[in-house]
């Protein structure tokens, strides 16, 4: 049986979905689940829900919950990481301090001041997990779902010997959105996507084997589509290819949409994931006021479970690595001449084939030059942020923020230094290793 560890199991919406997915495969129905979290209350919810899943599905899988990470990792085969280092108050500092300086973020978890500081807090924790794995389960594979995805995967590559892949749902999620925009069945579309996480590109998008981009160009200005994905549609119109992840995220990764109030009003009209200022605070804050009551309803059986397998890649990967059906995913991996006009060694998101022998990234070649050029502006920030963590170098963190496309479009170098110093001071309880 496969031993599968969930670290951050208290992220219950996500851990529940992944567990249901895993157990939907016949070869994984006797899996041994180890649930780990630092919050005893949230961990108990996760345990109760997991036990409910196993019982209702009448499966031989087992569930064990513990606050002791090392206990859970001993002999593990797969480690799924879905952690949030710090709570809503530290995330608030990531958003509100830059906002005071005029740097308006929507999510702030992947790039920009928020992404860099989340990396400073999160990567050391994940490297500690990986070092425990090197001792306790050296052949296990990390399936990372935590942001900032490229920085975390890059740091794992640089600092550990553990096998890993970074996973996101933005590729398959965007493919579903595009199929809906064309009003065609999702099963009839196919695609080839590559770039970096949250900024990968649909290099090919086909319906029934034919190029579907001409159809998509006819639909992009429809109000029901443009109004939900404003900045992504603008990028498509001007750059020629559709980008993954939501408009709320993508509006932050470039200098075009968020540097002036008139542009914010025009291109980030709000709504879920469409660029609303500080939307992440709603996501983790007021919009979750009744979240604990919902957890109790699920744990106690008052709400039904949905056993439909989701599009998340994790379960398909584990099933393939266990020797069952070969699958193709888009994974975040080291760029070893995969995308030839992005820097060697950076983290790229490319198609990967998965079988019993492992995860095999696919060769892509050159991206269209305008897409690679935009990706490189993000890769610069990622590289500097990773080095800030590995060297414990506060100045390197400043350089990362200074080269961020949005921040540098708004602030001077002196203003950026002041903002970064203020963020370090506000978050000092989480960032003491940087002096």
Catalytic residue annotation: 169
DSSP 8-class letter at 32: E
Residue 120 tokens, joined: 């400073």
Residue recorded with tokens 């404003």 = 230
From the list 79, 83, 23, the residue with the least C-alpha distance to 49 is 23
In this structure, are residues 153 and 144 in contact, taking their beta carbons and an 8 Å threshold? yes
End-to-end CA distance of the chain: 45
Residue recorded with tokens 């740097």 = 103
DSSP 8-class letter at 220: T
In this structure, are residues 94 and 422 in contact, taking their beta carbons and an 8 Å threshold? no
Is residue 349 classed as helix, strand or coil in its secondary structure? strand
Number of helices and strands in the chain (H, E): 19, 12
C-alpha to C-alpha distance for 63 and 5, rounded to whole angstroms = 10
CA torsion through residues 395, 397, 398, 403, sign: positive
In angstroms and rounded to an integer, the radius of gyration of the C-alpha atoms of the chain is 21
Residue 243 tokens, joined: 């980008």
Question: Beta strand pairing status for 358-361 and 347-355?
Answer: antiparallel
C-alpha to C-alpha distance for 223 and 243, rounded to whole angstroms = 19
C-alpha to C-alpha distance for 4 and 141, rounded to whole angstroms = 10
In this structure, are residues 153 and 126 in contact, taking their beta carbons and an 8 Å threshold? no
C-alpha to C-alpha distance for 141 and 100, rounded to whole angstroms = 41
In this structure, are residues 285 and 2 in contact, taking their beta carbons and an 8 Å threshold? no
C-alpha to C-alpha distance for 231 and 237, rounded to whole angstroms = 10
DSSP 8-class letter at 166: E
In this structure, are residues 121 and 90 in contact, taking their beta carbons and an 8 Å threshold? yes
From the list 168, 142, 169, the residue with the least C-alpha distance to 4 is 142
DSSP 8-class letter at 235: H
């Amino acid at each position: 049986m496969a031993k599968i560890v969930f670290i951050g199991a208290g992220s219950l919406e996500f851990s529940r979905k992944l567990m249901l997915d895993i157990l939907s495969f016949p070869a994984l129905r006797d899996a041994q689940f180890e649930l780990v979290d630092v919050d005893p209350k949230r961990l108990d919810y996760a345990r109760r829900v997991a036990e409910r899943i196993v019982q209702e599905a009448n499966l031989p899988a087992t569930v064990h919950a513990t606050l002791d990470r090392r206990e859970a990792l001993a002999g593990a085969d797969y480690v799924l990481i879905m952690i949030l280092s710090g709570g809503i108050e530290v995330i608030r500092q990531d958003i509100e301090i830059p906002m005071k300086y005029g740097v308006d973020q929507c999510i702030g978890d992947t790039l920009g001041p928020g992404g860099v500081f989340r990396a400073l807090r999160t990567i050391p924790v994940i490297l500690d997990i990986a070092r425990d794995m090197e001792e306790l389960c050296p052949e296990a594979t990390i399936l990372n779902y935590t942001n900032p995805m490229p920085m975390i995967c890059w740091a794992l590559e640089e600092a550990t010997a553990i096998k890993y892949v970074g996973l996101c749902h933005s590729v398959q999620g965007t493919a579903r959105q595009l199929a809906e925009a064309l009003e065609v069945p999702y099963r009839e579309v196919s695609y080839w996507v590559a770039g970096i996480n949250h900024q990968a590109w649909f290099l090919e998008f086909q319906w029934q084997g034919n190029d579907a981009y001409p159809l998509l160009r006819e639909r992009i200005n429809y109000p029901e589509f443009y109004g939900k994905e404003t900045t992504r549609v603008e990028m498509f119109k001007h750059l020629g290819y559709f980008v993954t992840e939501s408009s709320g995220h993508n509006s932050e990764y470039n200098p075009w949409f968020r540097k002036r109030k008139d542009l914010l009003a025009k291109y980030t009209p709000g709504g879920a994931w469409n660029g609303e200022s500080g939307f992440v605070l709603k996501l983790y804050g007021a919009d979750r006021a009744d979240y604990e009551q919902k957890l109790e309803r699920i744990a106690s059986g008052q709400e039904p479970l949905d056993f439909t397998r989701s599009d998340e890649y994790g379960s398909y990967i584990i099933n393939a690595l266990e020797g069952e059906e070969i699958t193709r995913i888009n994974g975040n991996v080291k760029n070893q001449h995969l995308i030839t006009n992005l820097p060697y060694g950076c983290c790229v998101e490319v198609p990967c084939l998965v079988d019993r022998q492992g995860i095999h990234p696919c060769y892509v070649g050159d991206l269209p030059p305008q897409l690679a050029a935009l990706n490189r502006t993000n890769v610069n920030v990622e590289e500097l942020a990773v080095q800030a963590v590995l060297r414990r170098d506060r100045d390197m963190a400043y350089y990362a923020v200074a080269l961020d496309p949005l921040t540098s479009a708004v602030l001077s170098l002196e203003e950026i230094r002041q903002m970064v110093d203020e963020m370090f001071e506000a978050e000092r309880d989480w960032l003491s290793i940087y002096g």
